[in-house]
């Protein structure tokens, strides 16, 4: 299974050197099957994204 990366354009050459491939349909870099994920840690998507805004404490009734 391929893992898509959150790799900015400015870092694409670094990801490519590590073995990442580009999916033209998705327009994203990915880790091909068989490669370790550790070298790509900084581009792995966040599995638990933080909310953009904190709810107002007064609105939680």
Higher-scoring residue by pLDDT: 28, 59 = 28
pLDDT digits (tens, 9 = 90+) for 1-46: 889 999 999 999 999 999 999 999 999 999 999 999 999 999 999 8
55: confidence class by pLDDT, cuts 50, 70, 90: low
Instruction: Indicate whether 39 belongs to any domain.
Output: no
Does residue 54 form part of some domain? no
C-beta of residue 50 within 8 angstroms of C-beta of residue 29: no
Query: What's the pLDDT at 37?
Result: 94
Domain assignment present for 46: no
Residue-range definition of the domain harbouring residue 6: 1-28
23 in any annotated domain: yes
11 occurs within a structural domain: yes
3-state secondary structure the chain: CCEECCCCHHHHHHHHHCCCEEECCCCEEEECCCCCCHHHHHHCCCCCCCCCCCCCHHHCC
Beta carbons of 10 and 36 less than 8 angstroms apart: no
Question: Domain tally for the chain?
Answer: 1
CB 43 within 8 A of CB 15: yes
């Amino acid at each position: 299974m391929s893992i898509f990366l959150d790799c900015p354009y400015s870092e694409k050459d670094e990801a490519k050197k590590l073995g990442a491939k580009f999916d033209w349909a998705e327009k994203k870099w990915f880790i091909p099957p068989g490669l370790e994920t550790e070298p790509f840690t900084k581009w792995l998507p966040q599995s638990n994204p933080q909310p953009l805004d904190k709810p107002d404490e007064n609105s939680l009734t």
